[in-house]
Chain A
Amino acid sequence: MNGSLATPEIVLALCGMGILLFGVLRRGDGGLICSMLTIGALLLAAVLVAGGAFGLAFEGQFLVDPMSVFSKFLILAAAILGVVLSLDYNAREGIGRFEFPVLMLFATLGMMVMVSAGNMMSLYLGIELQSLSIYVLAAFARDDVRSAEAGLKYFVLGALASGLLLYGITLVYGFSGSMDFAAIRQALSDPTRVSEGLIVGVVFVIAGFAFKVAAVPFHMWTPDVYEGAPSPVTAFLGTAPKVAAMVLFLRVMVGPFGHVLMQWQALIEIVSVASMILGALAAIGQSNIKRLMAYSSIGHMGYVLIGLACGNAAGLRGALVYLVVYVFMFLGTFAVILAMRRRGQAVETIADLAGLGRNDPALAMAMAVFMFSMAGIPPLSGFFGKLYVFLAAVQSGLWTLAIIGVLTSVVGAFYYLRIVKVMYFDAAREAFDRRPASLSVVAAATGLFTTFFFIAPAPVLDAAQAAARVLFG
């Protein structure tokens, strides 16, 4: 039992408390300095993650393996970029309080615990720490009705989902006799111990996770919350928690429930198909770009779930690569959305982008890259995300999923192209305000990653491969 495996999390928790104290005791507005300290703490955590060993700690409650390390890097990267995105926005919107970065830090901590969970209990603790922090973040612009509504809506529905998950966990515990992932897997390897009650429990767990990753039919909260929450929160909400929840989803389904694959595979296929179709069709009619991104992210989760539906190492590898690619595209898009300001006011309809190609060619080019990439056009990174999940689907004989997947990606291309069209083809509107350097940095970094991913995809692939192999011995 090696407690030092959790050093990154422990250090991050201490840093979080330290920054909180600092913010409380410091007189005046401490938003900026606390954000900087948070970025520092997250970087420190990343260094510690990189230097850590693999193994089990706290009697199997906490585990560090290539999969958790892989996802922690991704989560930390998303969190750091998320804090950077919030710097300018919060100051301008008057919500630059020091609690903001601290809440993001604690949410990140929750996610790191989630992806390291080896036990239903630590899993639940991680989810709750993450969720509670984000409920507050969603309502952070408390004077704005939409933000308050988003926070409340997310809280109520999130609590319901947590309840479902918890109910599923209790059923699984009751019928398998353990909370520990390895022990549950062991128990289920004996087919006689797989009872209907256990399957009901698995279904509840799936419902809980489907809510957290916003997959159809548990997606209803997404458009409202994405639209209402402050934009940097949406950027964060759409990336890091999704990665954490999805990785946990993958781990739980193929780990403890791996032996009952036949029972849940069809369910995941349905959820995946429904998400892809809804994500593609519902986005067409949107005029608010944050809402559009909400539907787009629902669709993307559908593609990731193809990987899970395959239920093998190739599928998991595809899903993990997709997550990496998705996180950077999504954050980059939000860097552009955050730059959409006219005369100090944030604007967020798609029509507001008109003429961006003329007014700010660099920003428009970055946005075009993200849109083409999300549509899955090679050689941009989004293509590779799709390529590997479809390859896994074809290998597993899931032709229905693959065919529906490619067709919905064509439908999806329609609305991504609409944004490119508005930026380049429509008559120019008044230019946006000068974009702050922080947004330019994020847009440039994610844009370069998205564009040039094709040159050397091997490191990401290798890491994803190693991570996926863990679950399959």
Chain B
Amino acid sequence: MNQAGFPLLSLITWLPLLGGAVILSVRGDEATVATNARWTALWTSLIVFALSLLLWGEFDSSEAGFQFVEHLTWLPQFGVSYRMGVDGISVLFVLLSTALTPICVLASWESIKKNVREYMLAFLILETMMVGTFCALDFVVFYMFFEGVLIPMYLIIGIWGGPRRVYSALKFFLYTLAGSVLMLLALLAIWYFAGTTDITVLLHTQFPTNMQYWLFLAFLASFSVKVPMWPVHTWLPDAHVEAPTAGSVILAGVLLKMGAYGFLRFSVPMLPQASTYFAPLIFALSVIAVIYTSLVALAQTDMKKLIAYSSVAHMAIVTIGIFTFNAQGIDGALFQMLSHGIVASALFLCVGVIYDRMHTREIARYGGLVERMPAYAATFMLFTLASMGLPGTSGFIGEVLVIFGSLKINFWLSLLGGSGMILGCAYMLYLYRRVIFGRLTRADLQAILDLSPREVAVFAPLVLLTLWMGVYPASFTHFFETSVNAMVSQHQAALTGGATRLAARLPDQKVLP
């Protein structure tokens, strides 16, 4: 039943909390506590990452179903149990979460000075919630993890954030909560209808078409805020700008993926008719997002805000890909999510590097950094190019696959969605030119230092991954290909099955006066 022989997923999920308990139990003066908290958090997250590599190694990618399944009775009288498992769609997100957490801990090593213990604790709790969201095979359990993310993230933005952190944290919390509670109602309706919240069963439950529409809208309310889709994206730039660097990394790297993951896990397979019905709406919102937020990004003067808007545009490509319902589109969406998870995180880290030195994110305050920071300039360039989707970097594969997939649906969708790549070049190169090139005129930049060994350690894995994904994507795509193909064929079958059932029902309706 479980190829690891022990509850691997639960271990990956809950181990960070154990690390958090250790951090809580540390006694001593503030400096001792801070040092201990940093090292404990780093080691915990590294051990968790090592465990998730085991998952990577043991995962059987030829199998479309759920693997490493665990089952524990929890609320037997309600048909709710603690179920964990991963399939090709979720396994890489688990890895993404566990890989980014140690990087976040390292990235905050020196920049966080106050309340280090609480900070590290929040990140470890966040890791538990993130991994749990992707592993949960029960809707109620999923919802608990999905919502639980809000608490640590709210505190991370609110306590360690920038000057407008209170406003941003509250906005983030309320936007997401407002969407999620509507999903809770959908969850309750599904629970009542199907009598179970076991996702493996729900994936094969046929919901009445009328009900599907309502459920889809409720899911949309939740996931569209999380992705975020235009026009409910406005919390994201605020949250990104005010969050500490590592908070932005997790936000862009993993939290945004939860929304798209929700679409893939719930909306598309469970509600095939409604998904097809509402796909044009999603396409319209996504195309608007691609073009509009790209243009907005062009006008930004704050580096983090620019990258935040670019995230909205990139995630819009993902939603286009998901709702093409063909293998290229969904493969592309998944790949784009992973790529964006790494590239956007790296870009936020790049901003963090110079923010730590100069304490400003104003683009105009920089210029000519290449003279003093050649290694930094090279790193930043790689991620800039990856964000633009240059062939040979991870960004290219995802976008191209999505464009192929959407071409099968509609030429204009493909063209307008693809315009994001061109606009992306514009704002990213414009950003790069203003920050890195030009003449180094400001006196305070003369003494700026290049990457420290710790920062090199932070960037090295991200650089490697970006290139690896760009040069040999097959080592990642083979994880999800089988699952995606199974999902696409199930979707087709559900649509044709639904159509014949609908056709069979039509004569009855005509009888009615």
Residue of B nearest to A388 (CB): B78
Taking CB atoms, residues of chain A closer than 8 Å to B173 are 413, 417
Set B166, B184, B185: member contacting A421, Cβ < 8 A: B166
Q: Is A30 an interface residue (CB 8 A)?
A: no
Q: Which of A75-83, A297-305, A371-379 contacts B (4 or more CB under 8 A)?
A: A371-379
Interface residues of B in 62-77 (CB under 8 A from A): 74-77
Q: Which of B152-160, B393-401, B483-491 contacts A (4 or more CB under 8 A)?
A: B152-160
The reply to whether B192 and A391 form a contact with Cβ atoms under 8 Å apart is yes
The reply to whether A390 and B143 form a contact with Cβ atoms under 8 Å apart is no
The reply to whether B181 and A407 form a contact with Cβ atoms under 8 Å apart is yes
Q: Is B279 an interface residue (CB 8 A)?
A: no
**On chain A, which size bracket covers the interface?**
20 to 34
The reply to whether A424 and B188 form a contact with Cβ atoms under 8 Å apart is no
Taking CB atoms, residues of chain A closer than 8 Å to B191 are 391, 394
The reply to whether B150 and A410 form a contact with Cβ atoms under 8 Å apart is no
Q: Is B177 an interface residue (CB 8 A)?
A: yes
CA distance A378 to B128 in the complex (A): 13
The reply to whether B184 and A406 form a contact with Cβ atoms under 8 Å apart is yes
Q: Is B165 an interface residue (CB 8 A)?
A: yes
The reply to whether B158 and A424 form a contact with Cβ atoms under 8 Å apart is yes
Interface residues of A in 413-461 (CB under 8 A from B): 413-414, 417, 420-421, 424-425, 454, 457-458, 461
Taking CB atoms, residues of chain B closer than 8 Å to A375 are 177
Taking CB atoms, residues of chain A closer than 8 Å to B147 are 377-378, 383
Interface residues of B in 140-176 (CB under 8 A from A): 140, 143-145, 147-148, 150-151, 154-155, 158-159, 165-166, 169-170, 173-174
Taking CB atoms, residues of chain B closer than 8 Å to A108 are none
The reply to whether A390 and B155 form a contact with Cβ atoms under 8 Å apart is no
CB of B185, distance to nearest CB on chain A (Å): 6
The reply to whether B185 and A394 form a contact with Cβ atoms under 8 Å apart is yes
Q: Is A345 an interface residue (CB 8 A)?
A: no
CB of A332, distance to nearest CB on chain B (Å): 17
Taking CB atoms, residues of chain A closer than 8 Å to B75 are 457-458, 461
Residue of B nearest to A365 (CB): B118
Taking CB atoms, residues of chain B closer than 8 Å to A387 are 140, 184, 188
The reply to whether A383 and B181 form a contact with Cβ atoms under 8 Å apart is no
Set A394, A458, A465: member contacting B188, Cβ < 8 A: A394
CB of B35, distance to nearest CB on chain A (Å): 18
The reply to whether B154 and A417 form a contact with Cβ atoms under 8 Å apart is yes
Q: Is B178 an interface residue (CB 8 A)?
A: yes
The A/B interface has a contact count, at CB < 8 Å, of 85
Q: Is B182 an interface residue (CB 8 A)?
A: yes
The reply to whether B144 and A462 form a contact with Cβ atoms under 8 Å apart is no
With A377-B151, A407-B181 as known contacts, state yes or no: A361 contacts B118, CB within 8 Å. Answer: yes
Q: Is B281 an interface residue (CB 8 A)?
A: no
Q: Is A409 an interface residue (CB 8 A)?
A: yes
CA distance A368 to B163 in the complex (A): 22
Q: Is B189 an interface residue (CB 8 A)?
A: yes
CB of B83, distance to nearest CB on chain A (Å): 15
Interface size in chain B (residues, C-beta < 8 A):
34
Taking CB atoms, residues of chain B closer than 8 Å to A425 are 158-159, 165-166, 169
The reply to whether A390 and B77 form a contact with Cβ atoms under 8 Å apart is no
CA distance A345 to B178 in the complex (A): 39
Taking CB atoms, residues of chain A closer than 8 Å to B74 are 458
With A395-B192, A417-B170, A424-B158 as known contacts, state yes or no: A406 contacts B165, CB within 8 Å. Answer: no
Interface string of B347-373 (1 = CB under 8 A from A): 000000000000000000000000000
CB of A117, distance to nearest CB on chain B (Å): 29
Set B76, B148, B188: member contacting A391, Cβ < 8 A: B188
CB of A178, distance to nearest CB on chain B (Å): 36
With A377-B150, A379-B144 as known contacts, state yes or no: A410 contacts B158, CB within 8 Å. Answer: no
CA distance A263 to B159 in the complex (A): 51
Residue of A nearest to B117 (CB): A361
CB of B338, distance to nearest CB on chain A (Å): 27
CA distance A462 to B184 in the complex (A): 23
Q: Is A357 an interface residue (CB 8 A)?
A: yes
The reply to whether A421 and B170 form a contact with Cβ atoms under 8 Å apart is yes
Set A383, A410, A457: member contacting B174, Cβ < 8 A: A410
With A413-B173, A417-B170 as known contacts, state yes or no: A406 contacts B181, CB within 8 Å. Answer: yes
Taking CB atoms, residues of chain A closer than 8 Å to B140 are 387
Interface string of B170-214 (1 = CB under 8 A from A): 100110011001101100110110000000000000000000000
Taking CB atoms, residues of chain B closer than 8 Å to A454 are 144
Q: Is A145 an interface residue (CB 8 A)?
A: no
CA distance A403 to B184 in the complex (A): 10
Which of A383, A425, A465 lies at the interface centre, i.e. has the most chain B CB atoms within 10 A of its CB? A425
Q: Is A202 an interface residue (CB 8 A)?
A: no
The reply to whether A424 and B159 form a contact with Cβ atoms under 8 Å apart is yes
Set B77, B144, B148: member contacting A465, Cβ < 8 A: B77
Residue of A nearest to B161 (CB): A425
CA distance A391 to B145 in the complex (A): 19
CA distance A391 to B173 in the complex (A): 24
Which of A358, A372, A394, A395 lies at the interface centre, i.e. has the most chain B CB atoms within 10 A of its CB? A394
CB of A197, distance to nearest CB on chain B (Å): 38
Residue of A nearest to B143 (CB): A378
Interface residues of A in 178-230 (CB under 8 A from B): none
With A417-B170, A461-B75 as known contacts, state yes or no: A357 contacts B151, CB within 8 Å. Answer: no
Residue of A nearest to B175 (CB): A410
CA distance A425 to B181 in the complex (A): 26
CA distance A225 to B409 in the complex (A): 65
Taking CB atoms, residues of chain B closer than 8 Å to A461 are 75, 77
CA distance A394 to B184 in the complex (A): 11
Taking CB atoms, residues of chain A closer than 8 Å to B189 are 394
Residue of B nearest to A456 (CB): B74
Residue of B nearest to A378 (CB): B144
Q: Is A113 an interface residue (CB 8 A)?
A: no
The reply to whether B188 and A402 form a contact with Cβ atoms under 8 Å apart is yes
CB of A346, distance to nearest CB on chain B (Å): 27
Residue of A nearest to B144 (CB): A378
Residue of A nearest to B140 (CB): A387
The reply to whether B144 and A383 form a contact with Cβ atoms under 8 Å apart is yes
CB of A310, distance to nearest CB on chain B (Å): 12
CA distance A457 to B192 in the complex (A): 20
Taking CB atoms, residues of chain A closer than 8 Å to B151 are 372, 377
The reply to whether B177 and A410 form a contact with Cβ atoms under 8 Å apart is yes
Taking CB atoms, residues of chain B closer than 8 Å to A413 are 173-174, 177
CA distance A377 to B144 in the complex (A): 8
With A394-B192, A402-B185, A414-B174 as known contacts, state yes or no: A424 contacts B144, CB within 8 Å. Answer: no
CA distance A458 to B181 in the complex (A): 24
Interface string of B72-92 (1 = CB under 8 A from A): 001111000000000000000
Residue of A nearest to B132 (CB): A379
CA distance A375 to B184 in the complex (A): 14
Taking CB atoms, residues of chain A closer than 8 Å to B118 are 357, 361
CA distance A361 to B148 in the complex (A): 21
CA distance A462 to B75 in the complex (A): 10
Interface residues of A in 348-365 (CB under 8 A from B): 357-358, 361
Interface residues of A in 71-99 (CB under 8 A from B): none
With A383-B144, A394-B192, A454-B144 as known contacts, state yes or no: A424 contacts B155, CB within 8 Å. Answer: yes
CB of B460, distance to nearest CB on chain A (Å): 34
With A424-B158, A458-B76 as known contacts, state yes or no: A379 contacts B177, CB within 8 Å. Answer: no
Given pairs A357-B159, A372-B151, A458-B74, 16 additional interface contacts (CB within 8 A):
A357-B115, A377-B151, A383-B144, A387-B140, A406-B184, A407-B178, A410-B181, A413-B173, A424-B155, A425-B158, A425-B165, A425-B166, A425-B169, A454-B144, A457-B75, A465-B77
Q: Name 27 A/B residue pairs within 8 A (Cβ), A-sorted.
A: A372-B151, A377-B177, A379-B148, A383-B144, A387-B184, A390-B184, A390-B185, A391-B192, A394-B185, A394-B191, A394-B192, A406-B181, A407-B181, A410-B181, A413-B173, A414-B170, A414-B174, A417-B173, A417-B174, A420-B158, A421-B158, A421-B169, A424-B155, A424-B159, A458-B74, A461-B75, A465-B77
Question: Can you list the 9 inter-chain pairs with the closest CB atoms, starting with the nearest?
Answer: A406-B181, A378-B144, A394-B188, A410-B178, A378-B147, A379-B144, A425-B158, A391-B188, A425-B166
